[in-house]
Amino acid sequence: MISGNLPEAIDYYEQAFTAMGEVYTTQSAVIQPWYADMGAVIGEKHLLLDQAEDAEAWFRHVLSFAPFNLRATQGLAGVLLTRGDTDEADRLCTIFEQRIGVDPCAARAQERQG
């Protein structure tokens, strides 16, 4: 990221995520607090390169093991809204709000209202 080469930075982020996954069982106390957010950051970086499919895959991957990760939920909802799948985005946000008590998509809803 410092050099301005986002594709190369994404490669390093993905390598770091893979390395964390390989030692997760033995070092979970160190890795767990930021493992899911790291995956969501990778999704966000893919969005910066207009790689929505890769971003969606990362957000869905994170949600597969951390189903109420705020960043991944917001990221996936954003991808879904961008492609016009408002029903799935609304469902995702509603389930999150019902379980966690916070609307992860409130800012996006305000943007849509204008």
56 lies in some domain: yes
Residue 96 belongs to domain spanning: 6-113
Write down the residue that tokens 């943007």 correspond to. 111
Of 72, 71, 89, which Cα lies nearest the Cα of 80? 89
Question: What would the mean pLDDT of 71-83 be, rounded to a whole number?
Answer: 97
21 lies in some domain: yes
Whether residue 109 is predicted with pLDDT greater than 70 in this model: the reply is no
Higher pLDDT, 91 or 108: 91
Whether residue 66 is predicted with pLDDT greater than 90 in this model: the reply is yes
- Could you give the percent of the chain with pLDDT greater than 70? 89
**Number of compact structural domains in the chain:** 1
* Percentage helix, strand, coil for the chain under 3-state DSSP, each rounded to 5: 80, 0, 20
Region class of 92: left (phi > 0), else alpha (psi between -120 and 50), else beta: alpha
Write down the residue that tokens 């800012």 correspond to. 107
76 lies in some domain: yes
Give the pTM: 0.88
Whether residue 64 is predicted with pLDDT greater than 90 in this model: the reply is yes
1 lies in some domain: no
End-to-end CA distance of the chain: 33
Higher pLDDT, 108 or 27: 27
Q: How confident is the model at residue 3 (pLDDT cuts 50, 70, 90)?
A: low
13 lies in some domain: yes
Whether residue 5 is predicted with pLDDT greater than 80 in this model: the reply is no
30 lies in some domain: yes
85 in Cβ contact with 105 (< 8 Å): no
What is the CATH classification number for the domain harbouring 61?
1.25.40.10
